[in-house]
Structure 1
Amino acid sequence: MDTERNAVLAGLMKAYGFGRQGLADEVNTISERIFGRPGAATDRHVRRWISGKVRWPNARYLLPLVEIFDRPPEAMGFVPRGRSSRLPVPPSTTTGTGEGDSVKRRRFVTASTAVTVAVALGLDDTPTSGRLTLADVARIDGKVGRMAAHFNSVGGGSLYEVSTGYLDRLRISLDGCTYGPTVEAALHCAISNLSSSAGWAAHDAGHPGQARVLFADALQSALLAGDKRGQARAWSNLAMQARIDGRHREALRVNRAALDTRQARQDPRIAALLHSRLAIGHARAGDPTAAARSILAAQRAHDRFDTAPPPPPWLKFLDAAEISGLAAIAHRAMGQLTDAELATAQALQLLPKSMRRNRAFYGVQLAELQVAQGNLQRAEETAARIDTSPISSQRIADRLATIHRAITV
């Protein structure tokens, strides 16, 4: 029987920086945690998944793949074969406590997420001496990608110490290991990606000053790596940071510089992100016409997403929901509160359930807009629907507390 190559999985592996053996090793690590026994995936298994000879992997491989790439099997290019191909449920590790899944998830997130994430990712396994290879960097990229996925799911407050600690380890590796120029560039690229993610985690943890330093570090590492996408990401984050600091003209200049890069011209996702943030900058600088042009440019860039390869882990949050949510921020800055409320509501409708941090973020934004328009009852109803129990973000918690104070006045 003819088989069809799983191009989706191959694309995801490339985007996440996995080779065949690197992915097999990561699957085995997670499989041991889930099933309590060592995994058995090999380079041969991964070849068969990519070739299409295996269209629906065994549960001990499939569940780790779902966790690594943070998407259902069908979105990884696997093809179910009837009822026997349902996604299996991970074996329970409890002993009859009677707790519901939501309670267990909440305790996992709030009690020891930082420690759990660090252990699950095996951060201490990254070499700090000896010869560093591309396979080592591929494993590092996998860990950085999974931290980005964790941020998108529950926020970055609990990841701040994890990510900055891992940055310290990678810098030790940079100084203590030997490697060739290709590995050196790849390592700087990984450090740039992690620095950008750590900057966002710093914001969620309530450390905006550290975020500024981390975004600057991300740009430096991207320049050393010659990584154009990393440079565009870092410039975008620095523009956002300048805007948060109230330096609106500087934010506009930085954002325009990022849009002039070749990466922004070639990658519609980068272009959509930059145009969306530029719209906010124009709005806060008092130029509604330019803001409207940037919102339209972001929407046009979104229309070209289907022509682009799969996004890297850090950019998976950018979809129609996020673009609508960012447009709402621009409308709000221009005083167009009704339009901002409609765009925020649309973002919430479009957001997948897995994006719990963003659902809480835009839920708070919707309630804030309702308070600003004097609709306190609607704001109270909106705030009551916001589930922050699995979210690790002091930034979101503080804004929600402000809403509750406004409602109860």
Structure 2
Amino acid sequence: MDRQRNVQFEALLDQYGYTHRLLAAAVNDAALEMFGKPGDCTDRHVRRWISGEVRWPWTRYLLPLEQIFDRPAQAMGFIPRGKHSANMPVPPSRPSPAPKEASVKRRRFFTASAATTVSLALGIDDTPSRGRLSMADVERVQAVIGRLDAHFFAIGGGPLLSICTIYVDRLRDALDGCAYGDRVARALHSSISALYASAGWAAHDTDDPAHAALLHTASLQSALLAGDPSAAGRAWSNLALQARIEGRHREAVQITRAALESRRTRQDPRIASLLHARLAIGQAKTSDRAGAARSLLAAERTYDRVNAAAPAPTWLAFLDEGELSGLAAIAHQAMGQFDRAEASTVQAVKLLPPSMRRSRAFYSVQLAELQLARGDRQRAAATVAALDHSSLDSRRISDRLAIVQRTLTT
């Protein structure tokens, strides 16, 4: 049978702003909602539907597609294999969502739209998957990653989880299909490590610790392939944070100490100061008050060695005196030093620049929590009132804020 391109379906992708990869991700998300388990759709499936190689996709893809584009399969240009295949089964009924679940679904819908918009704006699909790659291509990739980092600092994880994983797939295609030298290969692995790290933080923001742990581990693996001590230090730092989030505080201390044993890591004052500050939190959580005090002092002294004229890696743009004050506050709080914790948090909010909206929101919520813990409801209410959380897309922060607001109204 002659193959005929499905121009009708192709036009729908263009109309809705979907790339092949983004549509595949949307199909899998819809399948999860519809069938209770994630789909296995890839960009290759989408290409086969457009080319006409597959004229009538399997039901597990067609039903999500009908939901995404809000029209029957034949109105998307698909041609049934026979009279029985045209009789589409009714999608399995799912329990009616509770109000909170409905809110989550709406959030997913808006997140998918935002992911499409951000992905198109960044030009992710412009990365070649064939031909020869040069350092100029790598520089373009790194510029995209820089804009992704800035997006995270401004509003939080939001759609970045799907965008980062899509971009990782794109770069892996480039590694498999393109020709390049050793220097380009190392730089690509370093970029993939950065994307995995960003995806891990996005998963953290969506309160999915299991997924975040897998992504941070993948980030470390790519950093080791790249031979990039900065990327490895970032991955170790994230894995230590992940262990702390999951309540494994001794493991967090061990991971951070292992990272600081690297000479190359210790020689980078930005990464080293971040690791010392996070080590202090782990020591505070394990009741090592003297160790925590030494680590906080080491973080300050190490940060004093930062050359302000030298540009920081984009992922470390968040690290300044304000962030270090916020991290110190977490350590003080863990040691029961609530006066010092509140003072350090106030300093963090004061010093953080307006561009770091996510960090400012995080520490503003932390400040309100500390004020409530000390019984100062009036100041906590004022802190919440001054908090700008419009457009912020971090479930972890918004959930903590909601708890503070409920406490203030009871």
Question: CA offset at residue 248 of structure 1?
Answer: 1.0
Q: Following superposition of structure 1 onto structure 2, how do residues 375-386 of structure 1 map, counting pairs within 5 Å?
A: 375-386=376-387
Residue aligning to 1:128:
129
1:40-94 Cα shifts (integer Å, max 9, x gaps): xxxxxxxxxxxxxxxxxxxxxxxxxxxxxxxxxxxxxxxxxxxxxxxxxxxxxxx
1:214-252 Cα shifts (integer Å, max 9, x gaps): 110110001001001111110111011111111111111
- Separation in 2 of the partners of 1:308 and 1:233? 21
Question: CA offset at residue 129 of structure 1?
Answer: 2.0
- Separation in 2 of the partners of 1:148 and 1:120? 14
- Separation in 1 of the partners of 2:244 and 2:264? 22
Residue aligning to 2:207:
206
Residue aligning to 2:141:
140
- Separation in 1 of the partners of 2:246 and 2:208? 13
- Check conservation: 1:255, 1:278, Cα contact below 8 A: yes
Residue aligning to 1:89:
none
| More displaced 10-residue stretch of structure 1: 286-295 or 169-178 | 169-178
Q: Following superposition of structure 1 onto structure 2, how do residues 40-79 of structure 1 map, counting pairs within 5 Å?
A: none
Residue aligning to 2:326:
325
- Separation in 1 of the partners of 2:168 and 2:206? 17
| More displaced 10-residue stretch of structure 1: 204-213 or 291-300 | 204-213
1:286-314 Cα shifts (integer Å, max 9, x gaps): 11111011111111111111367210100
The reply on whether 1:389 has 2:365 as its aligned counterpart is no
The reply on whether 1:118 has 2:131 as its aligned counterpart is no
Question: CA offset at residue 110 of structure 1?
Answer: 7.5
**Per the alignment, in what secondary structure is the counterpart of residue 389 of structure 1?**
coil
Unaligned runs of 5+ in 2: 1-109
Residue aligning to 2:180:
179
Question: Which protein has the larger Cα radius of gyration, Structure 1 or Structure 2?
Answer: 2
Q: Following superposition of structure 1 onto structure 2, how do residues 10-409 of structure 1 map, counting pairs within 5 Å?
A: 112-306=113-307, 309-409=310-410
Distance 1:311 1:385, change over 3 A: same
Question: CA offset at residue 211 of structure 1?
Answer: 0.9
1:83-139 Cα shifts (integer Å, max 9, x gaps): xxxxxxxxxxxxxxxxxxxxxxxxxx9894322211111001011222222211111
Tell me which stretches of 4 or more aligned residues in structure 1 moved more than 6 Å: none
**Per the alignment, in what secondary structure is the counterpart of residue 405 of structure 2?**
helix
2:274 corresponds to which letter in structure 1?
Answer: L
- Check conservation: 2:111, 2:158, Cα contact below 8 A: no
- Separation in 1 of the partners of 2:261 and 2:354? 35
- Check conservation: 1:242, 1:250, Cα contact below 8 A: yes
**Per the alignment, in what secondary structure is the counterpart of residue 305 of structure 1?**
coil
- Separation in 2 of the partners of 1:381 and 1:307? 34
Residue aligning to 2:53:
none
- Separation in 2 of the partners of 1:361 and 1:330? 15
**Per the alignment, in what secondary structure is the counterpart of residue 258 of structure 2?**
helix
- Separation in 1 of the partners of 2:138 and 2:332? 42
**Per the alignment, in what secondary structure is the counterpart of residue 379 of structure 1?**
helix
1:261 corresponds to which letter in structure 2?
Answer: S
**Per the alignment, in what secondary structure is the counterpart of residue 391 of structure 2?**
coil
Q: With structure 2 as the length reference, what TM-score do the two structures score? A: 0.71
- Separation in 2 of the partners of 1:140 and 1:336? 44
- Check conservation: 1:267, 1:308, Cα contact below 8 A: no
- Separation in 2 of the partners of 1:284 and 1:113? 37
Q: What is the RMSD of the two structures over their aligned residues, measured on CA atoms?
A: 1.5
Distance 1:308 1:192, change over 3 A: farther
- Check conservation: 1:268, 1:308, Cα contact below 8 A: no
| More displaced 10-residue stretch of structure 1: 169-178 or 340-349 | 169-178
Unaligned runs of 5+ in 1: 1-108
- Check conservation: 2:362, 2:397, Cα contact below 8 A: yes
- Separation in 1 of the partners of 2:386 and 2:268? 36
1:255-288 Cα shifts (integer Å, max 9, x gaps): 0011111222211101110000000000001111
Question: CA offset at residue 205 of structure 1?
Answer: 2.1
Question: CA offset at residue 378 of structure 1?
Answer: 1.3
Query: Of the two structures, which has the highest relative contact order with CA contacts closer than 8 Å and spacing of 6 or more?
Result: 1
- Separation in 2 of the partners of 1:322 and 1:351? 7
- Check conservation: 1:331, 1:339, Cα contact below 8 A: yes
Percent of aligned pairs with the same amino acid:
59
- Separation in 1 of the partners of 2:311 and 2:252? 28
2:397 corresponds to which letter in structure 1?
Answer: I
- Separation in 1 of the partners of 2:248 and 2:172? 31
- Separation in 1 of the partners of 2:119 and 2:155? 15
1:267 corresponds to which letter in structure 2?
Answer: D
Question: CA offset at residue 253 of structure 1?
Answer: 0.7
1:331 corresponds to which letter in structure 2?
Answer: H
1:227 corresponds to which letter in structure 2?
Answer: D
- Separation in 2 of the partners of 1:204 and 1:129? 34
- Separation in 1 of the partners of 2:406 and 2:372? 11
**Per the alignment, in what secondary structure is the counterpart of residue 306 of structure 1?**
coil
1:278 corresponds to which letter in structure 2?
Answer: L
- Check conservation: 1:280, 1:291, Cα contact below 8 A: yes
- Check conservation: 1:263, 1:270, Cα contact below 8 A: no
- Separation in 1 of the partners of 2:240 and 2:384? 30
- Separation in 1 of the partners of 2:211 and 2:399? 19
Residue aligning to 2:95:
none
**Per the alignment, in what secondary structure is the counterpart of residue 307 of structure 2?**
helix
**Per the alignment, in what secondary structure is the counterpart of residue 157 of structure 1?**
coil
